[in-house]
Amino acid sequence: MPRLSICADCRREVLWTVTDAGKRLAVDPEPNPDGNTAVHRDGTGTRRSRRPSEELPLMGWERLHMPHFATCPGRGRSPAPVPARPTVLPPGVSDLSAYRRRRS
């Protein structure tokens, strides 16, 4: 059974793989025939992923998975708004914006 992680955006399980370029890619844990990422396990137990092509089609030991960012319902949410700077600073806090303007 693969060790699964939890997506921080949608709280669903994801399976982490390493691409041919050495980057990490989260995929949905269940194989999906509509997916576009071939996933296999190498000799060290690391899950590897790549994009199948005409030159190198899907091999018998690979399964198609969907990248998680394509199915994550938590993506696309707008980030939390940045709070406005208070007009009056609390005691003991200095406003450095004038100093920073002079230096630049």
Residue 36 CA to residue 80 CA, distance in Å, equals 32
- Residue 98: what pLDDT? 72
Contact between 49 and 25 (Cβ < 8 Å): yes
Domain ranges of the chain: 1-75
Smallest CA-to-CA distance from 31 within 54, 74, 2 is with 2
Amino acid occupying residue 36:
N
Q: pTM for the whole thing?
A: 0.67
Is residue 47 scored above 90 in pLDDT? yes
> Which is higher by pLDDT, 3 or 46?
46
Is residue 75 scored above 60 in pLDDT? yes
> Which is higher by pLDDT, 12 or 101?
12
Name the DSSP class of 99: H
> Which is higher by pLDDT, 72 or 79?
72
